[in-house]
A and B are shown apart, each in its own frame.
Chain A
């Protein structure tokens, strides 16, 4: 007894209650934070790396109206939509803005033969196989997965590209299929709303077109695991 007898202050009674409660809640909170913080929604969406050459899709695909397939020309028959070689840029840029300082790294690549090291934005894990041509030829537009690239000054990842997200469409394509000839028209399926002076998604048109094309081509997207996990 005496000086070895512990005397806790009065407020430690309340502290015990608070600590018990937080000990019960904390694991749940941690699980929630990790589940959200490490999900593709947080880690992948919005990824916008700085590229070695300041190429603007907004100017080329948007203002100039270049078709996606002019540069990404393998997308209709190959699994990968290839980033174009430097010589594709110089189909025009040997004449247009050829002295621009923004083109300096491109000229260097063109003359030395060393490629430009682009940073990959839309990255799928190596255990997942994705084939662009299977989707493009069936009427899945570029915009469904890549968003409005023609409005992006610097490309960012618009969708999560997670497995759950892919399966959502594979299980029910609903309004995401269109005429295969219109896959690169990113502004298709929008209607101008005079009331709000904004372009709104025309759900009815998208749904009716989608139903038509799914029925016409008898589309049945695979839900088999080995379609992608080869």
Chain B
């Protein structure tokens, strides 16, 4: 393999391979198209190729089940449908969103478990049915690909994905000891929130 020390190419180059100017690289340049592609210069060969392409195109149209207007679509229902769940019909969830410490009530439209639209909850005294751009945009937070979907176990210099069984086994062991101490030494890291339900318990808990 050529190194930068044995450069033979021109002073201007477009890639390091060109700079190295190896015999393999010159061969690669010469063969602009993959091997076999430039061989079809004979007119009868070309005609034969076009015949085959035309035939395969025609056959590709005749799919099993007939020539259809739309591509094949599958319907994949539940194996066990949860009670009260109607596929395709939206369900509305009343929730709240915190912005700078102030909560605004929201109604989220969800199709088959996929939230699609956020509207304000008209019954909430804070926003009374109104939303701002942040609330509207927050529906995309739910589809953020960087959202963690798994339990992650972090040790010194290592971060590993755990499945829930492994976590449950560890948690059972770990938290048993803390019950006796009333949680002394346990820290839960969470976002800043003005929500009364996530306020850290004082001595009264």
B interface: dominant SS: loop
- With A48-B65, A85-B79 as contacts: A120 and B73 at CB distance below 8 Å: yes
The residues of A that contact B199 with a CB separation of less than 8 Å are none
Contact indicator per residue, chain A 3-30, by CB within 8 Å of chain B (1) or not (0): 0000000000000000000000000000
Asked if B69 and A115 sit within 8 Å, CB to CB, the answer is no
Q: In the complex, how many angstroms separate the beta carbon of A128 from the nearest chain B beta carbon?
A: 11
The residues of B that contact A112 with a CB separation of less than 8 Å are 79
User: With A and B bound together, what is the CA distance between A227 and B64 in angstroms?
Assistant: 34
The residues of B that contact A125 with a CB separation of less than 8 Å are 70
Contact indicator per residue, chain A 104-133, by CB within 8 Å of chain B (1) or not (0): 000001101111111110010100000000
User: Among A38, A42, A46, A115, which residue has its beta carbon within 8 angstroms of that of B79?
Assistant: A115
The residues of A that contact B81 with a CB separation of less than 8 Å are 85, 87
Contact indicator per residue, chain B 51-67, by CB within 8 Å of chain A (1) or not (0): 00000000000000111
Asked if B79 and A80 sit within 8 Å, CB to CB, the answer is no
User: Among B65, B68, B77, B88, which residue has its beta carbon within 8 angstroms of that of A115?
Assistant: B77
Q: In the complex, how many angstroms separate the beta carbon of A107 from the nearest chain B beta carbon?
A: 11
Asked if B65 and A87 sit within 8 Å, CB to CB, the answer is no
Asked if A84 and B67 sit within 8 Å, CB to CB, the answer is no
- With A74-B86, A74-B89, A79-B88 as contacts: A84 and B77 at CB distance below 8 Å: yes
Is A83's beta carbon under 8 Å from chain B? Answer: yes
Is A44's beta carbon under 8 Å from chain B? Answer: yes
Contact indicator per residue, chain A 179-200, by CB within 8 Å of chain B (1) or not (0): 0000000000000000000000
Asked if B79 and A123 sit within 8 Å, CB to CB, the answer is no
Asked if A85 and B73 sit within 8 Å, CB to CB, the answer is no
User: With A and B bound together, what is the CA distance between A43 and B72 in angstroms?
Assistant: 12
User: With A and B bound together, what is the CA distance between A165 and B86 in angstroms?
Assistant: 29
CB-CB nearest in chain A for B63? A49
Asked if B80 and A86 sit within 8 Å, CB to CB, the answer is yes
Is A40's beta carbon under 8 Å from chain B? Answer: yes
Q: Classify chain B: how many residues form its interface, as a range.
A: 20 to 34
Q: In the complex, how many angstroms separate the beta carbon of A153 from the nearest chain B beta carbon?
A: 16
Asked if A119 and B72 sit within 8 Å, CB to CB, the answer is yes
Asked if A115 and B78 sit within 8 Å, CB to CB, the answer is yes
Asked if A113 and B89 sit within 8 Å, CB to CB, the answer is no
Q: In the complex, how many angstroms separate the beta carbon of A94 from the nearest chain B beta carbon?
A: 13
- With A46-B66, A87-B80, A114-B79 as contacts: A119 and B73 at CB distance below 8 Å: yes
Is A50's beta carbon under 8 Å from chain B? Answer: yes
Is A213's beta carbon under 8 Å from chain B? Answer: no
Is B113's beta carbon under 8 Å from chain A? Answer: no
User: With A and B bound together, what is the CA distance between A115 and B79 in angstroms?
Assistant: 5
The residues of B that contact A77 with a CB separation of less than 8 Å are 86, 89
Is B186's beta carbon under 8 Å from chain A? Answer: no
Q: In the complex, how many angstroms separate the beta carbon of B64 from the nearest chain A beta carbon?
A: 8
Contact indicator per residue, chain A 86-112, by CB within 8 Å of chain B (1) or not (0): 110000000000000000000001101
User: With A and B bound together, what is the CA distance between A50 and B65 in angstroms?
Assistant: 8
Asked if A87 and B79 sit within 8 Å, CB to CB, the answer is yes
Asked if B80 and A85 sit within 8 Å, CB to CB, the answer is yes
Asked if B74 and A113 sit within 8 Å, CB to CB, the answer is no
B contact set with A: CB distance below 8 Å: 65-70, 72-81, 86-89
A-B CB proximity, top 4 nearest: A80-B88, A85-B81, A43-B69, A85-B78
Between-chain CB contacts (< 8 Å), 14 pairs: A38-B69, A44-B68, A44-B69, A44-B70, A77-B89, A78-B89, A82-B87, A86-B77, A115-B76, A115-B78, A115-B79, A116-B77, A120-B74, A123-B73
